[in-house]
Chains A and B, each alone.
Chain A
């Protein structure tokens, strides 16, 4: 097999792995959009916030340390303990549920029935607010996150491909784990929404508020639940991205990469988010590999957006989105 083709295969595989990570973020968007019609711009920041909270709890950091010290003239920075990863993840999930409650109680509840664009603006505000809170709470320095996910080259794949092609593929263990996590997450989310009472109530609320009220569903409770689930997805995305590239504020920008993913997959489809993520991941890696050298590289920065633009022209509802039917 020609070297170029083997190399392209490796690029393809790496693209799939990158796509899984995009899909993880896009999933959070889809969940909230489906259940409440809100495009949650803050999803990326929620992933950042979750990752920072997780690191902070694991390291026994005192939240709002700078604020406390500046106010009371003290010098406390850590509690002096460390928390095991699993417990810290559970505690962080608790924080995300609290956040969901607060978002519903203080923001969304007052905006019920408003235009989607107003709700969208509210989430932009929420994004900046949350970024500020994250900074104030845990500090702005780059932190490493290690919850025990395996990292580094997968030797088995390296060896096997070397034996077959005479060239070892470099696939990161973390990417493989991320793929498994994403698959489990999607399976869990689908099962939750299709087969549980709360899932059924969630779909009901997404469909018709009045009807949901008339069968005794509390909209408030369901929305808190939806934001909590989105918080959970953000936490998972935060753990994977944070492990991969460190917990830093640029993490919130991955939300922007989720946009083209959603335009491809459709804003209302969970499978769409996955497939969209994979197409973007593979597409931008292969494009960089094939076309990049001709145009001086850095195509990964814009490829996804151009692809999304083309989709908007020819299939605005995305690959899996609900069909847009306009009555005349």
Chain B
């Protein structure tokens, strides 16, 4: 069912998953003498929710940073939409349609929620600096058009009531949601979520899970997420990559991964005798 060579598969809840969007081939990432990621390969398919899990320090965030271009791996290839990706700067990766959120929230604190989400649309705004400076016709039409798209996302994530609020004033859970809104505004082909539930209480976690499922359902967005709350991951995702000490120790459906002895050992600890 999960053979990489086929054109897709159907999930347990009946969603159709398409072909490979992103493929990581034998990625190795080192920081000096430390090997953060060691020879890892996996793929992400159209329309699926793919999780990368593992204990602290397993290299999950490093992997996400490789996908989004913040780190450049020493070895291995990144394939996106059937093409090998040359080494790229993070902003170039973003322009290719890969949006992300951050573990420690990276929002523009001084700007309003609306402005923050609008920055997600920058790549859709094609007018040049002169047209923008003079602010007529095309530039104005463009602003209105993108504003509409942004308002839809704001409605979708239920943050209308804080549209004009400066982000710095928002509580943690809402900031996470605004960050998701900004990433969605870019209409990404691949959405990367770095610990979307970190630091949240149960209620906030449930909200966030619902939004992630809704986004995937409504827009068909392909999502890759990192999380170390096992329960949440197993409920959300279609397929799971498990990492430990920079190595891949498991890959498959939540059920397969749950019953994998190596994964159980990594999470529960194992006595070496």
Contacts and interface: CB of A to CB of B under 8 A. Distances in A.
Q: Do A and B bind each other?
A: yes
Interface in B98-124: 99-100, 102, 106-111, 115, 118-120, 122-123
Contacts of B127: 197
A81 interface: no
A180 interface: no
Interface stretch (B88-96, B206-214, B228-236): B88-96
Interface stretch (A136-144, A213-221, A247-255, A279-287): A213-221
Contacts of B111: 203-204, 207
A204 B167 CA distance: 12
Interface residues of A, number: 25
B210 to A, nearest CB: 24
B186 interface: yes
Given A204-B108, A207-B108, A211-B108, A198 B132 contact: yes
A208 B108 contact: yes
B34 interface: no
Contacts of B135: 191, 195-196
Contacts of A215: 94, 99, 119-120, 122-123, 182, 186
B109 A196 contact: no
Contacts of A218: 89, 91
Given A203-B110, A207-B108, A211-B107, A198 B129 contact: yes
Contacts, number: 83
A1 to B, nearest CB: 47
Given A200-B119, A217-B91, A207 B133 contact: no
Given A203-B108, A203-B110, A207-B111, A196 B94 contact: no
Contacts of B264: none
Contacts of B102: 210-211, 214
Contact of B125 (A197, A207, A219): A197
Contacts of A206: 110
Contacts of A203: 108, 110-111, 115
B122 A201 contact: yes
Given A204-B111, A208-B109, A217-B122, A197 B91 contact: no
Contacts of A216: 91-92, 94-95, 122-123, 186
A128 interface: no
B86 to A, nearest CB: 17
Interface string A6-21: 0000000000000000
Contact of B132 (A197, A211, A213): A197
B192 to A, nearest CB: 9
Contacts of A200: 115, 118-119, 122
A192 interface: yes
A99 B180 CA distance: 39
Interface residues of B, number: 34
A303 B21 CA distance: 66
Interface string A269-285: 00000000000000000
Contacts of A212: 91, 108, 119
B95 A214 contact: no
B135 to A, nearest CB: 7
A197 B131 CA distance: 10
Nearest to A192: B133
A258 to B, nearest CB: 24
A197 B108 contact: no
A279 B117 CA distance: 38
A219 B107 contact: no
Contacts of A208: 106-109
Nearest to A206: B110
B91 A196 contact: no
B68 interface: yes
A295 to B, nearest CB: 44
Interface string B39-69: 0000000000000000000000000000010
Nearest to B105: A211
Contact of A214 (B106, B109, B129, B139): B106
Given A196-B133, A199-B132, A217-B119, 4 more contacts: A191-B135, A197-B143, A212-B91, A214-B68
22 contacts: A191-B135, A197-B125, A197-B127, A198-B129, A200-B119, A200-B122, A204-B111, A208-B107, A208-B109, A210-B102, A211-B106, A211-B107, A212-B108, A213-B89, A213-B91, A214-B106, A215-B119, A215-B122, A216-B94, A216-B95, A218-B89, A219-B91
Interface of A: 191-192, 195-201, 203-204, 206-208, 210-219, 225
Lowest 7 A-B CB distances belong to which pairs? A216-B94, A211-B106, A207-B108, A213-B90, A196-B132, A216-B95, A197-B125
